[in-house]
Amino acid sequence: MITKHTDDFSLLDFSEGETLLIDKPPQWTSFKVVYKIKKAINIRRVGHTGTLDPLATGLLIILTGKSTKKMLEFQNLDKTYEGIITLGKTSPSMDTETEITENDVPEDLTEEKILSVRDRFLGEIVQVPPMYSALKVKGQKLYHLARKGKVVKREPRRVYISKFEIKKIDLPDIHFEIRCSKGTYIRVIANDFGEKLGCGAVLSSLRRTEIGDYNVNDALRVKELIQKVGSMPQLEKK
């Protein structure tokens, strides 16, 4: 396991298989993180265990070499996120990546009402995956279709929300922490939350803090990893 606490990189064998905890920066795709690491360590077999949207930050688990065989093991772990739901806004992507439409937030909206709606998301819920997602339908990623203005049918899926804590209410912003099963779209929760309050909402901030028992506080930034790898002996491509 490679974390920010790993001191001796000379003992690592990326081709045999390593697990890296990475703190993804904003505006980067998960693919870009993999590309940068693959180029730095000079190993062909590198992959991540769960996509983060470009605007999101936080924990990515990267597997190299023979460790990529453990991909499913990590993908099945629960995830924890912190973020902000902003009421009174909607967008096609359900976040701030696409054009925002403004709506009025009810003046009589109370904390009690917000918590009551929150409770409806706890336990098993059904989600329809967003068009702006990496999910494939007939071999095509949905976000490619969405950017062309196309909408296709998506099958609902069941996910499980084990924790949904409202950390702070500072309208129109609702700060939250969510613990959920694999395949959960936090953007859809934000969108559906706004619909239930009658004013719409977008996900305006998202950070993944945990995957299973792995924590972003132990993760390396990509630049830190590249600097550490740069001090290693020349790697052979495998």
Q: Classify 131 as helix, strand or coil.
A: coil
| Cβ atoms 18, 61 nearer than 8 A | no
Calculate helix-pair angle for 30-41, 222-230, nearest 10 degrees.
10
Residues that are catalytic: 53
**Which residues is 79 bridged to in the sheet?**
180, 211
Please answer whether residues 164 and 178 qualify as being in contact, where contact means their C-beta atoms are separated by less than 8 angstroms.
Answer: yes
Spatial contact of 114 and 133, defined as CB atoms under 8 Å apart: no
CB 197 within 8 A of CB 46: no
